[in-house]
Amino acid sequence: MALPAATARAAALCRIAAERENTLLSFGRAAAHAAVAFVEFDVQVTKDGCPIIFHDDFILTQETDAVYAKRVTDLLLEEFLSYGPQKNSHEIAKPLLRRTSDGRVVNWSAKDDDSLCTLQEVFERVSPRLGFNIELKFDDDIFYERSQLDRALQAVLQYASNRPVFFSTFHPDAARIMRELQSLYPVLFLTEGGTAQHKDSRRNSLDEAIRVCLEYELHGLVSEVRGVLKNPSAVLRAKESNLALLTYGQLNNVWEAVYIQYLMGVNGVIVDLVEEISNAVADFSKPVLNQSMLGSGVDLVGAKHQAFSQQQLGFLLRLIPELIQQPH
């Protein structure tokens, strides 16, 4: 099965800091960017079987003076929706907190905030022109029933209509099961590309990721960008295997890194800055593919190449190894 045209082409996927990720507001604002063709978001299934949109494995909240962590998949839908801003101003919102990278627990809010939402709401209220990259979110330490994947799939089948959709996940078995459950929507395997190690060896290198895709008949992979830049031959192997290859990671916020991947033949790049990266690549791309957490996509395939001088290309080739060494 071929990927939808948009997912077969290179793109920039972006996060907008003004809104909290995985909200209807963030998706709506992403749609305002001409370069955005897909939005990507994280799907989990509540205890009572409702697919919802949320990134973290746990919701952090405060009761009296204590902070509690509640596993999202252990919550009923009604309780999940009770955290953070409410659709009905008369309803009392429970505190929604988040742990920062330095370990502090802070109130999770944004300049323009919005309520938590379900997968059904996203299908019904986000512009139908946008495709969806649905990341199937799973906790590494929990065994998940096949039925949880089926719940997410049934919601897609019921509400997607003609909207382009593909699935992605870091978990090889979840990717395999989703591929077994259906053949209508492409399934991509997310990998850190060897930049981190896991107990499951299938997650520890680009070579393993490509093997997983071929063994389970997946449609492509999404790798941490440093893994691809450290192992550029993987791009050729992916192409020879007829696999789509996208990348994510903070290094993709540097337009030179985006351009070097364009030259390498990478199909898509996930970035954190919608407008900045879209503008930077506007001269060598047209609108089309993906978006992460809140973002955007830019078609790079078939676009005209910029006339870079040998001096400029030499700078790019020197820049990339230096950037790879920076902590991210």
Query: DSSP 3-state assignment of 289?
Result: coil
Q: Distance between CA 115 and CA 125 in Å, rounded? A: 13
* Residue 63 in tokens: 């009761």
Nearest to 84 by CA among 20, 16, 15, 18: 20
Residue 181: exposure state from Cβ atoms within 10 A (0-12, 13-18, ≥19): middle
Per-residue pLDDT of the chain (328 residues; tens, 9 = 90+): 433 333 322 344 444 346 788 899 988 887 877 667 788 899 999 999 999 999 999 999 998 889 999 999 999 999 999 999 898 877 888 989 988 888 888 888 777 888 999 999 999 999 998 889 999 998 777 767 788 899 999 999 999 999 999 999 999 999 999 999 999 999 999 999 999 999 999 999 999 999 999 999 999 999 999 999 988 889 999 999 999 999 988 888 888 888 888 888 888 877 767 667 767 766 654 433 333 333 334 344 444 444 445 555 555 555 555 555 555 4
Whole-prediction pTM value?
0.81
Q: How far is CA 10 from the centre of its chain?
A: 14
Distances (CA, A) of 252 to 57, 277, 328: 25, 9, 11
**In this structure, what DSSP letter does residue 74 have?**
G
Tell me the two tokens of residue 132: 């969806």
